[in-house]
Amino acid sequence: MADRPTPRPGVLDIDLYVGGESRAVPHASLGRTVRLASNEGAFGPSPSARAAYLPVAEDLHRYPDGASADLRAAIARVHGLEADRVVVGHGSDELIANLIRAYAGPGDEVVHSAHGFLMYRISALAAGATPVAVPERNLTADIDAILAAVTPRTRLVFLANPNNPTGSVLPLDDVQRLQAGLPPPVVLVLDGAYAEYVNRNDYDPGIGLVESCPNVVMTRTFSKIHGLAALRLGWGYAPAPVVDALNRIRDPFNVSLAAQRAGLAAIEDTDFVDRCRRHNEIWRDWLAARLASLGLIVHPSAGNFVLADFGGRSDVTAVAATDGLRDRGILVRRVARYGLPRCLRISIGLEQEMAALTDAMAEILG
């Protein structure tokens, strides 16, 4: 008999998830820390989400609606979906974790691409399942390699499209080919956390696939373009039997009243979302061009961030640049944990923040 309690196999294999840094000195001319480390929406929440949030204080003694019915109906209305198949969660992280808990356990495999979002691995290990990382090509998920990695033990395949932290995106054709190549019992999860930012005609977040395939699930978040990361709110679209499984294992009140009210207002504020998207397109291109002109390799990104590679600069490392930026009151994200030790991920912020970042980077790079 062990002399103390021992976590289940897998739990101690989890490396703690370390979020983007949030504390540093204020930037000299902006008078506050410039936070570009967590892909949070540049404009914060929409004014209507803020207005919906404030009066929630009066109702803090009430349990929220466990079905989140009004919120799910609003999501369905705005995106043209069937409300019965819309699910919501405590961040899309909860949806990811519950999909794995519902469909995989010890001995089962959860496939993701090598530089894919870290929560797939963490949630697989937490469920006692085995994460399987599949090598990418040019920092992009490789459909053939993913299909070749599928075994009789595979239960789920995760694809972030666009992917974080690489910014790469796959056209609908490739996603369809992935779905078509998977055995019917394998769940394909399309993580569209950055879907709203994509401006390519060949892209589709997967709503049609969810409607036509019994094994495809799409997840989305309110943490990025909707600017509600603090509230922890995500949503998904899934076939009815998957929705049923998720409802059985989720917390009965998994989405707080504040998240339901602010989320509803946020999803209906499509003008705000459009404005954020247009800002992102302009400044993502601007930032990529400026960083390239400073000698960095910038990978094309479809999200609200860019991935800058210091491989071309033998004199300044990604670590030194992170430290130099932090000393100047600017936070960006190191991505060594994602297998990208020479890269930094930089979120798209406001115009002054982008100027502050590139000015500081120019100083650091000499």
Ligand X SMILES: *Cc1c(COP(=O)(O)O)cnc(C)c1O
Residues in touch with ligand X (CB under 6 A): 39, 91-93, 117, 160, 164, 191, 193, 221, 223-224, 229, 234
**Residue 24 or 159 having the CB closest to ligand X:** 159
Q: Residue 185, preceding bond cis, omega within 30 degrees? A: no
Closest CB to ligand X belongs to which residue? 91
Instruction: Give the shortest CB-31-to-ligand X separation in angstroms.
Output: 28
233 burial level (CB within 10 Å; 0-12, 13-18, 19+): buried
Instruction: Give the shortest CB-165-to-ligand X separation in angstroms.
Output: 8
* CA pair distance 288, 316, nearest whole angstrom: 18
**Residue 39 or 176 having the CB closest to ligand X:** 39
Strand, helix or coil at 345?
strand
CA distances from 361 to 66, 294, 335, 365 (A): 47, 8, 18, 6
* CA pair distance 291, 46, nearest whole angstrom: 29
**Residue 92 or 179 having the CB closest to ligand X:** 92
Instruction: Give the shortest CB-191-to-ligand X separation in angstroms.
Output: 5
Instruction: Give the shortest CB-129-to-ligand X separation in angstroms.
Output: 18
Assess contact for 200 and 162: CB atoms under 8 A. Answer: no
Assess contact for 357 and 349: CB atoms under 8 A. Answer: yes
Map 198-252 to HEC letters.
Answer: CCCCCCCCCHHHHHHCCCEEEEEECCCCCCCHHHCCEEEECCHHHHHHHHHHCCC
The first and second tokens of residue 329, run together, are 């009151």
**Residue 193 or 343 having the CB closest to ligand X:** 193
Sheet containing 297-299: give its strands across: 297-299, 305-309, 343-347, 333-334
**Residue 64 or 263 having the CB closest to ligand X:** 263
Cα–Cα nearest to 19, from 351, 348, 347: 347
Cα–Cα nearest to 123, from 87, 95, 162: 95
Instruction: Give the shortest CB-21-to-ligand X separation in angstroms.
Output: 16
The first and second tokens of residue 331, run together, are 């936070």
Instruction: Give the shortest CB-91-to-ligand X separation in angstroms.
Output: 3
**Residue 72 or 224 having the CB closest to ligand X:** 224
The first and second tokens of residue 150, run together, are 């599928």
**Residue 92 or 140 having the CB closest to ligand X:** 92
**Residue 91 or 131 having the CB closest to ligand X:** 91
Q: How many C-beta atoms surround the C-beta of residue 192 within 10 A?
A: 25
* CA pair distance 139, 152, nearest whole angstrom: 27
**Residue 204 or 290 having the CB closest to ligand X:** 204
Instruction: Give the shortest CB-119-to-ligand X separation in angstroms.
Output: 7
Instruction: Give the shortest CB-144-to-ligand X separation in angstroms.
Output: 22
Instruction: Give the shortest CB-130-to-ligand X separation in angstroms.
Output: 21
**Residue 165 or 329 having the CB closest to ligand X:** 165
* CA pair distance 96, 116, nearest whole angstrom: 13
Instruction: Give the shortest CB-160-to-ligand X separation in angstroms.
Output: 4
